[in-house]
Chain A
Amino acid sequence: MNAETRNWVAIGDLNDIPKEGARVVKTDAGCVAVFRTVNDEVYAIDDRCPHKGGPLSQGIVHGTSVTCPLHNWVFDLATGLAKGADEGAVAVTAAKVEGGKILLAADDLARRAG
């Protein structure tokens, strides 16, 4: 898949999310957690920890990782993979910032719904 043919959905402004924070985007297939790092990178992953369903959007964001608020699993925001001793992964939705707007990849969102 190449970038030019991708459809992107705008979900809001970069400044809607605090640095080292996250917001939720509700979809038919559950919530997507959208993260903003201290360096203004943006990542989106499913808002559901594979361990016990914890809302990852509520975790502490450090570097490009988030720690689940329920039992401290740590996920890499870029890959969605659990770090350290835990094993598991959450689905990643491609995200980017253009002109101060945050865009999510429509095909990734659609795949989640399917």
Chain B
Amino acid sequence: MTKQKLVIVGNGMAPGRMLEYLFDKNKDAYDVTIFNAEPRVNYNRLMLSPVLSGEKTYEDIITHGDDWYAGNGVTLHKSARISEIDRDAKSVTAENGITASYDKLVIATGSNPFIIPLPGKDLDGVLTYRDLDDVDKMLDASKRGGRAIVIGGGLLGLEAAAGLKMQGMEVTVLHLMPTLMERQLDSASGFLLEEEFKSMGIDVRTKANSHEIIDDGTGKVKAIRLDDGTEIDASIVVMAVGIRPSADLAKSVGLDVNRGILVGDDMRTSDEDIFALGECVEHQGMCYGLVAPLYEMASVIADNLLEGAVEYTGSVTATKLKVTGVDLYSAGDFAEGDDREEIVLRDASSGVYKRLVLKDNKIIGAVLYGETADGPWFFDLLKKGTDVSEMRETLIFGQAYQGGAPLDPTVAVAALPDDAEICGCNGICKGTIVNAIKEKDLTTLDGVRAHTKASASCGTCTGLVEQLMQATLGDAFNPAAVTPMCGCTPLGHDEVRRLIKSKELKTIPSVMQELEWTSSGGCAKCRPALNYYLVSDWPDEYADDYQSRFINERVHANIQKDGTYSVVPRMWGGMTSSKELRAIADVVDKFDIPSVKCTGGQRIDMLGVKKEDLPSVWEDLGKAGFVSGQAYAKGLRTVKTCVGSDWCRFGTQDSTGLGIKIEKFMWGSWTPAKLKLAVSGCPRNCAEATCKDIGIICVDSGYEIHFAGAAGLDIKGTEVLGLVKTEEEALEHVVALTQMYREQGHYLERIYKWAKRIGYDEIRAQIMEDTDKRKAYFDSFVFSQKFAQVDPWSERVSGKDKHEFKPMATLLSEAAE
């Protein structure tokens, strides 16, 4: 059977979605040709505001790139505006002369911004806010600074105002009506919104009727004059007062047109073979400008193109304002009336306002300001016409208060029915998302987006989708895991670590190639991370890439603010001797080292050493038996001890001896972040073991092992791992725990963060209870130590990396001339 020809006029979000539906159902039914008046592929128009505010770029918001069209066999003509449709011959012609014939035609010409017929409307600097070209023009203007005047305090106008403000312009919003967004908000929430915008430094003027835009004498905008005579200087004027369906083309070929192109419930126009889709459509007297109804229409057309019989019955819409820091949700009808009741909740101190409008015990309208999490739930009750009389008393407090359930967002989401809509833009309900998570083993937000489209348009339901994933996956879901490692890759640390193992990647360039890094040589964030992962995973095979290490690890000393370095030799377990102290004193004198300090980890720090002196300093220290203290390393730092049973009258075990044993066993090992240990000889805990990464408290009956403490940016007491009887067991458990952390931690993730992510019980189960696992971790650590326990200082005293410590050349004035 030969394929039918489908031609689409317009390449906005609605036709893009229609094709996805169509290809899903039947990939081979049509040869598709698209004519796009814009010179580009299909992008997510809802996300123009984040592009304007600088939070996203054009590349971030592309829905279908060129390869999508190629892959689906779709012919896309860019910059090709259709000027003629010959309904008898069934063909279309573009302004640039390209023609195409069709069996079925879809008109998706969208809408045009409404231009107020003011004097001066054609001046240079008067803009609209509809597509990427408009955004580019606004961004251009914002670089020159000055004041932007936005006419229109509706959704689009306010998003434009917030974006221009973030780009550094002075902004004034002029709104004809007494309150902002009066079509979606009642006057109380409109007022709150106005206050919010004023607090962002945006000048908002309501009841402001523009009179004319004033010419600066060269055809450019200079100022705007209002009806009351006020003049406001402006470098640009953005008109965002509304849209008009773009129906001229349809009208010119004799299709029935009113405000928009008239369609029946099957989305056909007055011509059997021509459909209309999107903002250009008028259906039962309604024109729509929000994305959810357009997607519903898209699905109906896709079905009807394949001889289906689905009907479009109109849409109820909900709105969210996409301005960072403003939480606002509205749905339905909230005009006052005799047959209506309302429930209002105000919390002035936290800026919360909620209003529900009820009719016959059903919700017909909802406005939420400041706290919008219950929006989808109210919207669901509204769409279904649920009788709410049973829960009336507590309704306004939201879903979590119904049936005495605790106020936990995950529980609230879990309690939603399967057909509750989660993503309003794409009409995705809870059941669809939960099924996709289960069937496709999805564990990341990106995965859910790719498979269901939920949260893939405007993104405001992202929190809900994450809660749903949390409710479905439990502890297996970790929102942090989906955070990309850095700007060079969309992959998170876990993914990268997993792929390094499974694909057996053993060099940084091979990781970047195989995992499709988007930068040529990585960045200062991913390179050290990759180097650590490779060192950790392939200790015997990977050649450590020093150029991917931070300077401290490259030169084995700590850089200071003036470019000098500090040097900390190891003092095992914090013990030292007169011989060692004398050697340090001699080095300090010989190299004129300005400062000497005791560190928190029971060692001595020499500060202010010149880089060129480092190898000589190390040489002298080495003669006294010192090795590097690795005080600069993402690796084992110190094992702090108290004097224990050696001296202390309370000591229960030889804490000093155990500390030294552990330090001698573990020194030189690299870990995701620094690793500090301590051993205290009794529960008085003088070595402060209970705020360390790993700590041991000696007791009469043995050794209590602690882990996941913190005493830096965060303060956190340790968790107990378990009690063991002997020193050997204590060492084995500590080493196994460290190895588990080495294999799973994200680079720069301290052990307490890793442990929280993995779960304390999981760690206890693997280290305390699973003997085989513990032994395996221990053996892996021992194996990798064969390659790690080389004193880096003595290596460099013998000449390694000489180039690091000497200038390449010295050019005195005569040499430079």
* Residues of chain A having any CB pair with chain B under 8 Å: 9, 11-12, 16-21, 23-28, 31, 34, 37-38, 52-55, 58-63, 65, 67, 69-70, 72, 74, 106, 109-110, 113
B811 with A54: CB separation less than 8 A: no
A17 with B547: CB separation less than 8 A: no
When C-beta atoms are compared, the residue in chain A nearest to B528 turns out to be: A60
A19 with B547: CB separation less than 8 A: yes
**Cβ of A26: which chain B residues have Cβ within 8 Å of it?**
807, 809-811
B803 with A70: CB separation less than 8 A: no
When C-beta atoms are compared, the residue in chain B nearest to A104 turns out to be: B811
- A20: shortest Cβ distance to chain B, in Å? 4
**Cβ of A19: which chain B residues have Cβ within 8 Å of it?**
547
Provide the bound-state CA to CA distance between A30 and B814, in Å. Answer: 15
Assess whether B524 is interfacial by the CB under 8 Å rule. Answer: yes
Provide the bound-state CA to CA distance between A55 and B808, in Å. Answer: 15
**Cβ of A9: which chain B residues have Cβ within 8 Å of it?**
811, 815-816
**Cβ of B335: which chain A residues have Cβ within 8 Å of it?**
none
A113 with B813: CB separation less than 8 A: yes
A62 with B527: CB separation less than 8 A: yes
- A31: shortest Cβ distance to chain B, in Å? 7
A74 with B811: CB separation less than 8 A: no
24 cross-chain CB contacts under 8 A: A9-B811, A12-B809, A17-B803, A20-B521, A21-B803, A24-B808, A25-B807, A27-B812, A28-B812, A52-B561, A55-B563, A60-B524, A60-B528, A62-B519, A62-B521, A62-B522, A63-B519, A67-B523, A69-B550, A69-B551, A70-B561, A74-B523, A106-B816, A110-B816
The total number of A-B Cβ pairs within 8 Å is 99
**Cβ of B546: which chain A residues have Cβ within 8 Å of it?**
18
When C-beta atoms are compared, the residue in chain A nearest to B520 turns out to be: A63
The listed residue (A54, A62, A106) touching B524 by CB distance below 8 A is A62
A109-B811 in contact given A9-B816, A62-B527, A69-B551 (Cβ < 8 Å): yes
**Cβ of B809: which chain A residues have Cβ within 8 Å of it?**
11-12, 25-26
The contact string, 1 if C-beta is below 8 Å from chain A, for chain B 792-817, is: 00000000000100011111110111
B563 with A53: CB separation less than 8 A: yes
B547 with A20: CB separation less than 8 A: yes
**Cβ of A16: which chain B residues have Cβ within 8 Å of it?**
803, 808
Provide the bound-state CA to CA distance between A59 and B555, in Å. Answer: 12
**Cβ of B523: which chain A residues have Cβ within 8 Å of it?**
62, 65, 67, 74
**Cβ of A61: which chain B residues have Cβ within 8 Å of it?**
521, 547
**Cβ of B562: which chain A residues have Cβ within 8 Å of it?**
53
B816 with A69: CB separation less than 8 A: no
A58-B803 in contact given A9-B816, A26-B809, A34-B808 (Cβ < 8 Å): no
B524 with A59: CB separation less than 8 A: yes
**Cβ of B811: which chain A residues have Cβ within 8 Å of it?**
9, 11, 25-28, 109
- B556: shortest Cβ distance to chain A, in Å? 13
B547 with A60: CB separation less than 8 A: yes
Provide the bound-state CA to CA distance between A78 and B636, in Å. Answer: 38
Assess whether B548 is interfacial by the CB under 8 Å rule. Answer: yes
Most chain A beta-carbon contacts within 10 A, residue among B521, B522, B561, B817: B521
- A18: shortest Cβ distance to chain B, in Å? 6
Provide the bound-state CA to CA distance between A18 and B807, in Å. Answer: 14
Assess whether B614 is interfacial by the CB under 8 Å rule. Answer: no
Provide the bound-state CA to CA distance between A41 and B548, in Å. Answer: 18
**Cβ of A65: which chain B residues have Cβ within 8 Å of it?**
523
When C-beta atoms are compared, the residue in chain A nearest to B810 turns out to be: A26
Shortest beta-carbon contacts, A-B, top 9 = A67-B524, A23-B808, A20-B547, A11-B809, A63-B521, A58-B551, A62-B521, A26-B810, A60-B524
Provide the bound-state CA to CA distance between A40 and B531, in Å. Answer: 21
When C-beta atoms are compared, the residue in chain B nearest to A19 turns out to be: B547
A59 with B803: CB separation less than 8 A: no
Assess whether B221 is interfacial by the CB under 8 Å rule. Answer: no
Assess whether B694 is interfacial by the CB under 8 Å rule. Answer: no
The listed residue (A28, A60, A74, A113) touching B548 by CB distance below 8 A is A60
Provide the bound-state CA to CA distance between A31 and B520, in Å. Answer: 28
The listed residue (A25, A54, A58) touching B808 by CB distance below 8 A is A25
- B608: shortest Cβ distance to chain A, in Å? 15
Provide the bound-state CA to CA distance between A94 and B555, in Å. Answer: 28
B522 with A17: CB separation less than 8 A: no
When C-beta atoms are compared, the residue in chain A nearest to B811 turns out to be: A27
Assess whether B559 is interfacial by the CB under 8 Å rule. Answer: yes
**Cβ of A21: which chain B residues have Cβ within 8 Å of it?**
547, 803
Provide the bound-state CA to CA distance between A19 and B546, in Å. Answer: 10
**Cβ of A31: which chain B residues have Cβ within 8 Å of it?**
807
- A78: shortest Cβ distance to chain B, in Å? 14
**Cβ of B561: which chain A residues have Cβ within 8 Å of it?**
52, 70
- B511: shortest Cβ distance to chain A, in Å? 14
- B228: shortest Cβ distance to chain A, in Å? 42
- B360: shortest Cβ distance to chain A, in Å? 55
When C-beta atoms are compared, the residue in chain B nearest to A69 turns out to be: B551
A11-B551 in contact given A54-B563, A62-B524, A63-B519 (Cβ < 8 Å): no
For the A-B complex with A28-B811, A65-B523 known, give 15 more contacts whose Cβ atoms are closer than 8 Å. Answer: A20-B547, A21-B547, A23-B807, A24-B808, A28-B812, A31-B807, A53-B562, A54-B563, A60-B528, A60-B548, A60-B551, A62-B522, A67-B524, A70-B559, A109-B811
A18-B524 in contact given A34-B808, A54-B563 (Cβ < 8 Å): no
Provide the bound-state CA to CA distance between A98 and B287, in Å. Answer: 69
- A60: shortest Cβ distance to chain B, in Å? 4
Provide the bound-state CA to CA distance between A109 and B814, in Å. Answer: 12
- B509: shortest Cβ distance to chain A, in Å? 9
- A90: shortest Cβ distance to chain B, in Å? 15
Provide the bound-state CA to CA distance between A113 and B803, in Å. Answer: 25
**Cβ of B550: which chain A residues have Cβ within 8 Å of it?**
60, 69
- B488: shortest Cβ distance to chain A, in Å? 9
Most chain A beta-carbon contacts within 10 A, residue among B523, B561, B808: B808
The contact string, 1 if C-beta is below 8 Å from chain A, for chain B 582-608, is: 000000000000000000000000000
A60 with B559: CB separation less than 8 A: no
A106 with B817: CB separation less than 8 A: yes
Provide the bound-state CA to CA distance between A72 and B520, in Å. Answer: 19
**Cβ of A38: which chain B residues have Cβ within 8 Å of it?**
521
Provide the bound-state CA to CA distance between A21 and B808, in Å. Answer: 12
Provide the bound-state CA to CA distance between A1 and B550, in Å. Answer: 39
B521 with A58: CB separation less than 8 A: no
Most chain A beta-carbon contacts within 10 A, residue among B520, B547, B555, B815: B547
Provide the bound-state CA to CA distance between A45 and B456, in Å. Answer: 44
B807 with A58: CB separation less than 8 A: no
The contact string, 1 if C-beta is below 8 Å from chain A, for chain B 522-554, is: 111001100000000000000000111111001
- B632: shortest Cβ distance to chain A, in Å? 12
**Cβ of A53: which chain B residues have Cβ within 8 Å of it?**
562-563
The listed residue (A17, A20, A109) touching B816 by CB distance below 8 A is A109
Most chain B beta-carbon contacts within 10 A, residue among A11, A25, A60, A69: A60
When C-beta atoms are compared, the residue in chain A nearest to B548 turns out to be: A60
CB contacts under 8 Å to A, within B482-533, are: 519-524, 527-528
- A22: shortest Cβ distance to chain B, in Å? 9
When C-beta atoms are compared, the residue in chain B nearest to A24 turns out to be: B807
B808 with A72: CB separation less than 8 A: no
**Cβ of A72: which chain B residues have Cβ within 8 Å of it?**
524
Provide the bound-state CA to CA distance between A70 and B552, in Å. Answer: 11
A69-B521 in contact given A25-B811, A109-B811 (Cβ < 8 Å): no
**Cβ of B817: which chain A residues have Cβ within 8 Å of it?**
106, 110
A27 with B548: CB separation less than 8 A: no
- B56: shortest Cβ distance to chain A, in Å? 15
When C-beta atoms are compared, the residue in chain B nearest to A13 turns out to be: B808
Most chain A beta-carbon contacts within 10 A, residue among B520, B547, B809: B809
- B744: shortest Cβ distance to chain A, in Å? 25
Provide the bound-state CA to CA distance between A67 and B519, in Å. Answer: 15
Provide the bound-state CA to CA distance between A113 and B812, in Å. Answer: 10
**Cβ of B815: which chain A residues have Cβ within 8 Å of it?**
9
**Cβ of A34: which chain B residues have Cβ within 8 Å of it?**
808
When C-beta atoms are compared, the residue in chain B nearest to A66 turns out to be: B524
**Cβ of A67: which chain B residues have Cβ within 8 Å of it?**
523-524
CB contacts under 8 Å to A, within B167-199, are: none
